[in-house]
């Protein structure tokens, strides 16, 4: 049973436009959510996170929105740049030192 779901395996966006990556979760114990970016043959790189006490967190071009009632979060990248092309993983944890649970990732392609 997948606790973290990224239903879009891929997304293609034009440079300068907004990229919206979606993530749904089922475990109501999750209280901290993260987005990681991954290039081929490299480990994931932390991008941005949000605690369950917030509904929005912004860092430069990246904004994460959390809708707890819908158990849904999204990552907005604006404006999108070709260098943003990568696989983006949504992850969640129930806090403390519990491990992260990852979605399957969404491959973002930003076209110049």
Contact 22, 88 (CB under 8 A): no
Burial 19-28 (b: 16+ CB within 10 A, else e): bbbbbbbeee
Instruction: Select from 103, 106, 108, 110 the one that contacts another protein (CB under 8 A).
Output: 103
Omega of the bond leading into 79 within 30 degrees of 0 (cis)? yes
Tell the smallest beta-carbon distance from residue 99 to another protein (Å). 5
Cα dihedral sign for 58, 23, 36, 95?
A: positive
Q: Which is nearer to another protein, 8 or 79 (CB)?
A: 8
Site for another protein in 26-45 (CB under 8 A): 34, 36, 41-45
Q: How far is the CB of 102 from another protein (least distance, A)?
A: 5
Can you tell me which of 30, 89, 106, 108 binds another protein, judged by CB under 8 A?
89
Q: Which is nearer to another protein, 13 or 50 (CB)?
A: 50
Beta strands at 86-93 and 32-38: parallel, antiparallel or unpaired: antiparallel
Residue nearer to another protein on the CB measure, 43 or 60: 43
Structure-token match 């912004």, residue found? 58
List residues near another protein by CB under 8 A. Answer: 9, 34, 36, 41-46, 49, 89, 91, 93, 97, 99-105
């Amino acid at each position: 049973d997948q606790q973290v779901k990224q239903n879009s395996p891929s997304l293609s966006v034009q440079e300068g436009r907004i990229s919206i990556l979606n993530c749904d979760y089922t475990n109501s114990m999750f209280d901290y959510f993260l987005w990681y970016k991954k290039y081929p043959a490299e480990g994931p790189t932390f991008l941005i996170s949000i605690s369950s006490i917030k509904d929005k967190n912004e860092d430069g071009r990246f904004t994460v929105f959390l809708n707890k009632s819908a158990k849904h979060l999204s990552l907005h990248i604006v404006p999108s740049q070709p260098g943003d092309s990568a696989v983006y993983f949504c992850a969640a944890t129930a806090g403390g030192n519990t491990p992260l649970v990852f979605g399957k990732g969404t491959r973002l392609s930003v076209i110049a």
